[in-house]
Amino acid sequence: MTEPRKPVMWYQGLFLQPQHFQQTDLFHQASLTPLRSYIQPFFYGTCGHVVDEGALREMTFNLREGEFLFQDGTWVKTTQNVKLEARSFKDAWTDMDKPFKVFLGLRRWDQAGTNVAPRGAHDERRRYIEETAGGMRDIYHGDSTVEIKFLDHLLRFFWEDEISDAADYHLIPLAVLTFNGQDVVLSRDFVAPAVTLAASEPLLTIMRNVRELILSRCRILEEYKNPRGFQKADLQAAYLNFFLALHTLNRHAPVLHHVTEVSTVHPFMAYGILRQCAGELSTFTDRVDALGRLQNGTELIPPYDHEDLLFCFRQVQLLIEEIVASMILGMENIIHFARDNHYFRAQVPQELLDNRNFFYLVLKSATETQDIRDMVHHIVKLGPEEEVPVLITRALPGIPLEEKREMPPGLPKKPGMLCFEIDRTNRYWLDVLKNGRIALYWPDAPEDTLIELAILKP
């Protein structure tokens, strides 16, 4: 409904007819049109649905359940106010090498014609269908029951080649089917238009992945968040770049965390957040401008397309990942050790255990650095978590550590900080690579000791 409706003139002695109540219903429906049209763009799509994937093997499309908002604001739920029949696509899908697109349709309101189909007439092109009358009690007093007829929304599945003849329907692209050589399956490269991120797991996953990427890089760069801790001579240009990168990432991390906490955010809003993030990150690259355009005008970030959401979200995700990787070139991750009495332990994610990377042990303490050096060389034992007790018992040295007098590029240099390169050829280190569990034994380590494993790409 796109035009305002006039209210009914009620007066004493009016002989009521169905049209009076029908026009009142239309008036109230039309009153909601500005909310749908002007407050939230693209306010239609799935609120959550489940395709019957077992029926696909029989060349039939059906829903186990589903909740949808149509373009005119109609809210339907398959278990509540809908009649929807399964439909076979066996004869319609003639070329199974090509994807097969399915739509869900609701008949538009016909101002001049008939909008209700009689009970049982599921094949008619009508908006509603009569439901069997049921007894409804008085919800105020509960002392009487009256037979009332209700209307169900008569929904239909449409195939892509039928869309040209379905101009009288509101349509929602619902699924894309593909044939993998054995079975008909749902394409993983398509998601239906969604009302919220929660209604589309792939979109929510992208938002969470970007959030975790930003947060992980914030953790890597957190050493740069207090530039006053640097010695004046150590404020190199690279450090300033990392500080500015941290400043940018810290701005977007809370927003990404906020929208993924509840996941009831509309994709249009979420996409805008990703575009803003990519635009600000473009400060750190000359490859694209703030709108994600190359110098030749090619757009790497497409305009928002409510009916091709997965493509849009994937494109901006790729650009964010690319820029973030170039911002912290060479820095892979920083793993913090947890202290447990005389031990410091850490679990290194398996994907970071590439022995082509460089691994550094970073020690921080206010204790005199020469004392720390002496303890590292004569007391500290580093090795696989399960083998460190053996190193202690047998008085073996563990993984050799070579002190780096100059911090590797990308690592900050602060007072009280020492850096040691790990010998990647040592057999104990090769054992660490197998499961990622690493431990350091240091009895009587200073109370303020912090230990990190810095992983840098070559």
What's the pTM?
Answer: 0.74
Q: How many CB atoms lie within 10 A of CB 355?
A: 11
User: Which backbone phi and psi does 161 adopt, to 5 degrees?
Assistant: -75, 0
Give the pLDDT confidence score for residue 85 in this predicted structure: 94
Give the pLDDT confidence score for residue 336 in this predicted structure: 86
Helix (H) or strand (E) holding 246: helix 237-262
The helix-helix angle for 201-221 and 237-262 (nearest 10°) equals 150
pLDDT of 225 above 80: no
Give the pLDDT confidence score for residue 39 in this predicted structure: 85
pLDDT bracket for residue 339 (50, 70, 90): very high
d(CA 102, CA 174): 6
Question: Tens digit of pLDDT for each residue in 440-450?
Answer: 999 989 999 99
Comparing 130-139, 242-251, 337-346, 409-418, which segment has the lowest mean pLDDT?
409-418
Cα dihedral 412, 414, 416, 420, rounded to 10, equals: 20
pLDDT bracket for residue 233 (50, 70, 90): very low
Give the pLDDT confidence score for residue 333 in this predicted structure: 72
CA angle 274, 275, 279 (to 5 degrees): 120
Residue 262 burial (C-beta neighbours within 10 Å; 0-12, 13-18, 19+): exposed
pLDDT bracket for residue 113 (50, 70, 90): confident
pLDDT bracket for residue 354 (50, 70, 90): confident
Comparing 264-268, 306-310, 353-357, 439-443, which segment has the lowest mean pLDDT?
353-357
Q: What is the domain partition of the chain in residue ranges?
A: 80-192, 198-327, 331-456
Question: Tens digit of pLDDT for each residue in 170-210?
Answer: 999 999 999 998 999 999 999 999 999 999 999 999 999 99
Question: Tens digit of pLDDT for each residue in 29-61?
Answer: 888 878 777 888 999 999 999 999 999 999 999
Quick one: average pLDDT of 62-90? 95
pLDDT bracket for residue 220 (50, 70, 90): confident
Quick one: average pLDDT of 156-161? 96
Give the pLDDT confidence score for residue 332 in this predicted structure: 57
Mean pLDDT of the chain, nearest integer: 89
The fraction of the chain above a pLDDT of 70, given in percent, is 94
Give the pLDDT confidence score for residue 330 in this predicted structure: 52
d(CA 286, CA 294): 9
